[in-house]
Chains A and B, each alone.
Chain A
Amino acid sequence: MKKRMKLRSISPFRINFDLKMKLSTLLIIVALFQVKANETYSQKTKLTLNEQNVSIERVLDKIETLSDFKFAYNEKIFNYQRIVSINVHKERISSILDKLFIDTNVDFEVYNKQIILKIRQQSLSFLDGDQSKQERKKVSGTVTDEAGIPLPGTSIIIEGKLIGTESDFDGNYSISIPDGATTLIISYVGYQTQKIIIGNQTVINITLKEDSNSLEEVVVLGYGTRSRKTIAGSVSQISGKVLENRPITNVMNGLQGVLPGLTITRSSGRPGGENYQLNVRGLSSLNGGNSPLILIDGIEGDLNLLNPNDIKTTTLLKDASAVIYGARAAGGVLLITTKTGKKNQTPQVTYSTNYSTNVISNLTERVNLKQWVEMDWEAKTAAGAGAQFSGGGTLQEVLDKIDRGAEPDDIGGNSFLFYKLEDWDGALFDDATQQNHNITITGGSERSDYSTSLGFTRTDGILKNAWDSNERVNLRLNHGYDITSRLRLETKISFDRNRNLEGAWGSNEVFNQRNKIFTWFPVFSESGNNYVTQWGFGNPRQIANRDQGKRTNISENLRGNFKLNYKVNDDLKFYTQVGINKGEGSRENFSAVSLRWNYNDTSAGTYRSKNNLFLSSSESNYKNLTAYFDYHKIFANKHDISLMGGASHEENENKSFWASRQDFAQTEVLSLNLGDAENMENGANASHWAIKSFFGRFTYTFDSKYIAEINYRRDGTSVFSPDKRWGDFGGVNLAWLASEEAFIENLNIFDHLKLRVSQGTTGNQNLNTGNLYDYIALINIGGQYPFGNGEKAQSASEGGLVSENRTWENLKTTNFGFDFAVLNSKLSGSFDLFKKENNNMLLGVNLPSVLGGAPPAQNIGSLESTGFELSLKWTDQLSEDFSYSVGAYLSDNTNKLVDLDGRDRVSSTREGYALGTVFGYVWDGIIQNQVELNEYKSLTGIPTNIAIGDARYKDVNGDGRISVYDDNGNDADVVDLGTNSARYSFGVNLAARYKGFDASAFIQGVGKRTVFYSGAFAIPFEQPWWQPLKRFYGNTWTPENPTAKYPRLTTGGTRHWNYRNSENTKVNGAYARLKNITVGYSLPKNVLEKAGISSLRLYLSGEDLFTIDAIDGGYDAENTDGSDTFYPFTKRYSVGLTLTF
Chain B
Amino acid sequence: MKNYNIKFLTLFVTVAMLLGCEKDLNLAPLDQVSDASFWKVPGDFEKAANAFYRSLASHANGGYDQNSDITVGGSSNVNSNGSLIIDNGPNWNGSYSTIRATTRITENYEKALDIQSDIARYAAEARFFRARAYHNLVSTFGDVPLITKVLTLESEELDAPRASRADVVAYILEDLNWAIANLPLQSELATNEIGRVTKGAALALKSRIFLFEGTWAKYHASGDASGYLTTSINASQELIGSGEYAIFMGSSTAEAYRNVFLEAGEGSSESILARRYNLDLEISHNTTRWVSTFHNAPTKKLADMYVCTDGLPISISPLFQGYDTMISEFENRDPRMSQTIITPNSGVAQLGSLIDLPSIGSGNGNSNSGYLSYKFFSDNEESQLGKGYYDYIEFRYAEVLLNYAEALYEKNGSISDANLNTSINKLRARVGMLSLTNTLVTSNSLDMLEEIRRERTIELAYEGFRYNDLRRWKQAENLLPVNLRGVKYTGTEYETSPPNNSKTISVDSEGFVIADNVSLRSCDQKLYLFPIPVEQIKLNPNLTQNPGW
Chain A positions within 8 Å of B, measured between CB atoms, are 1, 3, 380-381, 383-387, 390, 412-415, 484, 486-487, 536, 564, 566, 568, 574, 576, 604-605, 625-627, 629, 646-649, 651, 653, 655, 678-679, 684-692, 694, 716-718, 722, 725, 772-773, 776-781, 783-799, 801, 803, 845-853, 855-856, 905, 940-941, 943-945, 963-965, 967, 969, 1023-1025, 1051-1053
In the bound complex, what is the Cα–Cα distance between A688 and B26 (angstroms)? 11
Q: Does B449 contact A (CB under 8 A)?
A: no
Provide the bound-state CA to CA distance between A486 and B9, in Å. 13
Contact B47 A849, beta carbon cutoff 8 Å = no
Q: Are A627 and B12 in contact (CB-based, < 8 A)?
A: yes
A690 surroundings in chain B (CB, below 8 A):
24-25, 27
13 new A-B contacts at CB < 8 Å, known A385-B363, A773-B28: A3-B1, A384-B362, A384-B504, A413-B349, A629-B12, A679-B280, A786-B283, A788-B195, A793-B50, A799-B32, A850-B160, A963-B87, A1052-B362
Chain A residue, CB-CB nearest to B503: A384
| Beta-carbon contact of B75 and A943 below 8 Å | yes
Interface residues of B in 62-113 (CB under 8 A from A): 74-76, 81, 83, 85-87, 91-93, 96-101, 103-104
Does A1024 contact B363, Cβ atoms closer than 8 Å? yes
B5, B24, B75, B279: the one contacting A944 at CB < 8 Å is B75
Q: Are B281 and A784 in contact (CB under 8 A)?
A: yes
Report the minimal beta-carbon distance from A575 to chain B, rounded to whole angstroms. Answer: 8
Q: How far is the CA of A797 from the CA of B158 in the complex (A)?
A: 21
Contacts of A627 in B (CB 8 A): 12, 15-16, 19
Instruction: Say whether, besides A627-B19, A629-B12, A686-B30, A387 and B502 are in contact (CB < 8 Å).
Output: yes
Are A605 and B534 neighbours in the complex by a CB distance under 8 Å?
Answer: no
A995 to chain B, nearest CB (A): 52
For A801, the chain B residues whose CB sits under 8 A away are 153
The residues of A that contact B439 with a CB separation of less than 8 Å are none
B463 to chain A, nearest CB (A): 22
Q: How far is the CA of A717 from the CA of B147 in the complex (A)?
A: 37
Kindly state whether residue B316 has any CB partner on chain A within 8 Å. Answer: no
Chain A residues with CB below 8 A from B22, complex form: 692, 716
Q: With A384-B505, A785-B276, A788-B193 given, is the CB distance from A776 to B158 under 8 Å?
A: no
Contact of A687 among B30, B158, B363, B364 (CB under 8 A): B30
Cβ–Cβ contact A604 & B192, under 8 A? no
Q: Give complex CA distance A678, B44 in Å.
A: 26
26 A-B contacts (beta carbon < 8 Å) = A384-B360, A384-B361, A384-B504, A385-B366, A386-B366, A413-B351, A576-B15, A685-B31, A687-B31, A692-B22, A718-B26, A779-B34, A785-B195, A788-B191, A790-B279, A795-B50, A795-B51, A796-B47, A847-B153, A848-B539, A848-B540, A850-B145, A852-B96, A941-B85, A943-B75, A1024-B363
Q: How far is the CB of B254 from chain A (nearest CB, A)?
A: 24
Q: Which residues of A contact B352 (CB under 8 A)?
A: 413-414
Q: List A contacts of B495 (CB < 8 A).
A: none
User: Which interface class (under 10, 10 to 19, 20 to 34, 35 or more) fits B?
Assistant: 35 or more
If the complex has contacts A384-B366, A1052-B363, are A786 and B502 also in contact, measured as CB distance less than 8 A? no
Q: Are B354 and A791 in contact (CB under 8 A)?
A: no
A683 to chain B, nearest CB (A): 9
Q: Which residues on A sit within 8 Å (CB–CB) of B535?
A: 905
Residues in chain A near residue B87, CB distance under 8 A: 963-965
Closest to B147 in A: A850
Residue of A nearest to B11 (CB): A576
A777 to B145, CA, bound (A): 26
Q: Which of B8-43 contact A (CB under 8 A)?
A: 8-9, 11-12, 15-16, 18-22, 24-36, 38
A799–chain B nearest beta-carbon distance, Å? 6
Q: B538: which A residues are within 8 A, CB to CB?
A: 969
- For the complex, is B381 an interface residue (Cβ under 8 Å from A)? yes
Point out the residues of chain B lying under 8 angstroms from A687, CB to CB.
Answer: 29-31
Contact A851-B27, Cβ < 8 Å, known A785-B276, A788-B193: no
Say yes or no: A853-B385 contact (C-beta < 8 A), given A716-B25, A786-B281. Answer: no
Q: Are B153 and A855 in contact (CB under 8 A)?
A: yes
For the complex, give the distance between the alpha carbons of A60 and B15 in Å: 45
Query: Which of the residues B74, B92, B160 comes within 8 Å of A1052, measured between beta carbons?
Result: B74
Chain A residues positioned under 8 Å from B151 (CB to CB): 850-852
Interfacial chain A residues near B242, Cβ < 8 Å = none
Contact indicator A649/B18 (Cβ below 8 Å): yes
Please indicate the chain B residues that have their CB under 8 angstroms from the CB of A1053 in the complex. Answer: 74-75, 362
CB closest chain-A residue, reference B32: A778
Question: Do B4 and A486 have beta carbons less than 8 Å apart?
Answer: yes
Among A649, A845, A846, chain B packs the most CB atoms within 10 A around the CB of A649
With beta carbons under 8 angstroms apart, the residue of A387, A649, A722, A847 that contacts B19 is A649
Q: Are A625 and B385 interface neighbours, CB within 8 A?
A: no
Q: Determine if A796 and B4 form an interchain contact, defined as CB atoms under 8 angstroms apart.
A: no
Contacts A3-B1, A781-B47; A415 near B96 (Cβ below 8 A): no
Please give me the residue from chain A that is nearest to B100 by CB atom. Answer: A852
**Interface flag for B353 (CB, 8 Å):** yes
**In whole angstroms, how far apart are the Cα atoms of A627 and B13 in the complex?**
8
Q: Which of B32, B365, B382, B504 contacts A780 (CB 8 A)?
A: B32
- A-chain residues with CB within 8 Å of residue B502 when the two chains form the complex: 380-381, 384, 386-387, 390
- A788 partner, pick from B36, B76, B192, B504, beta carbons under 8 A: B192
Give the docked Cα–Cα distance between A941 and B78 (Å): 11
Complex contacts, B31 vs chain A, CB 8 Å: 684-687
Q: Are A944 and B76 in contact (CB under 8 A)?
A: yes
Q: Is B100 touching A851 in the complex (CB atoms < 8 A)?
A: yes
Residue of A nearest to B386 (CB): A536
Most central of B97, B190, B354 by chain A CB within 10 Å: B97
Complex CA–CA separation, A486 to B4 (angstroms): 9
Q: Is the CB of A851 within 8 A of B34?
A: no
Residues of B with C-beta under 8 A to A689: 27
Complex contact A849–B1 (CB within 8 A): no
B500 adjacent to chain A (CB < 8 Å)? yes
Q: Most chain-A CB neighbours within 10 Å: which of B24, B354, B540?
A: B24
B310 beta carbon closer than 8 Å to chain A: no
Please give the distance in Å from B32's CB to the nearest CB on chain A: 5
Q: Indicate if the CB atoms of A647 and B19 lie closer than 8 Å.
A: yes
A790 to B284, CA, bound (A): 13
Taking the complex as formed, is B196 at the interface, i.e. its CB lies under 8 A from any CB of chain A? yes
Bound together, the chains give a CA A717 to CA B386 distance in angstroms of 49
- The answer, among A566, A647, A692, for a CB contact under 8 Å with B24, is A692
Chain B residues, CB < 8 A from A1024:
363-364
* Separation of A35 and B147 alpha carbons in the complex (Å): 83
Nearest-CB residue, chain A, relative to B87: A965
> Does B244 sit within 8 A of A, measured CB to CB?
no
**Does B194 lie at the interface of the complex (its beta carbon under 8 Å from any beta carbon of A)?**
yes
Answer whether residue B278 sits at the interface, using C-beta atoms and an 8 A cutoff.
yes
| Shortest distance from the beta carbon of B222 to any chain A beta carbon, whole Å | 23
Q: Do A718 and B25 have beta carbons less than 8 Å apart?
A: yes
Q: Closest approach, in angstroms, between the C-beta of B354 and any C-beta of chain A?
A: 7
Most buried by B among A627, A688, A785: A785
In the complex, the answer to whether B363 meets A787 with C-beta atoms within 8 Å is no
Q: Give the 6 A-B CB pairs with smallest separation, nearest first.
A: A852-B100, A413-B353, A384-B361, A786-B278, A686-B30, A788-B192
Nearest chain B CB to A965 CB, angstrom units: 6
Verify A649–B24 contact, CB threshold 8 A: yes
Q: Are A487 and B8 in contact (CB under 8 A)?
A: yes
Q: Do B33 and A778 have beta carbons less than 8 Å apart?
A: yes
Closest chain-A Cβ to B201's Cβ sits at a distance in Å of: 14
Within the complex, what minimum Cβ distance (angstroms) separates A623 from chain B? 11
Chain B residue nearest to A941 in the complex (CB): B85
Most interface-central of A651, A852, A965 (chain B CB within 10 A): A852
Give, as a whole number of angstroms, the nearest-CB distance from B47 to chain A: 4
- Name the B residues within 8 Å of A718 (CB-CB): 24-27
A381 to B30, CA, bound (A): 60
Q: How far is the CA of A646 from the CA of B15 in the complex (A)?
A: 10
Residue B277 interfacial (CB < 8 Å) = yes
Chain B neighbourhood of A788, CB < 8 A: 190-195
B215 to nearest A CB, angstroms? Answer: 28
Q: Which residues from chain A contact B5 at a C-beta distance below 8 Å? A: 568
Within the complex, which residue of B19, B91, B362, B543 is in contact with A383, where a contact is CB–CB below 8 Å? B362
